[in-house]
Amino acid sequence: MKDYTQILIWAGIFGFVFIVLWLTGNLVKLRNYVLETREELRKCTWPTVDELKGSTVLVAISIVLLGVFTVIVDYALVLFVNWMARI
């Protein structure tokens, strides 16, 4: 019985939102937005699987190199600050 009550409450909420959107004209705006978005996505050129794999490898290598650079610079700055503290 509890499950049916929850389903009815959610159905009522969704129905109320639907009616409000319909009466305010926002439902038509939402429909037009979705249709225009789908049309624009059809115009896009999507990468092939090989291009996607290559880009993924390039991003992974870039992240590793940036991490190594950050560690080296951090270590050098720590050494410099410790050296300055001893003077």
Give the residue-averaged pLDDT of 43-71.
Answer: 96
Residue located via tokens 């951090």: 74
Q: How confident is the model at residue 76 (pLDDT cuts 50, 70, 90)?
A: very high
26-43 vs 2-24: helix axis angle to the nearest 10?
Answer: 90
Give the residue-averaged pLDDT of 9-37.
Answer: 91
- Position 58 scores a pLDDT of 97
Q: What is the three-class DSSP state of 82?
A: helix
Cα dihedral: 23, 24, 25, 31 (round 10): -90
Chain centroid to Cα 37, Å, comes to 17
* Domain layout of the chain by residue ranges: 1-44, 46-87
Question: Which has the closest alpha carbon to 33: 41, 44, 23?
Answer: 41
- Position 25 scores a pLDDT of 86
Q: Is the pLDDT of residue 52 over 80?
A: yes
Q: Is the pLDDT of residue 37 over 70?
A: yes
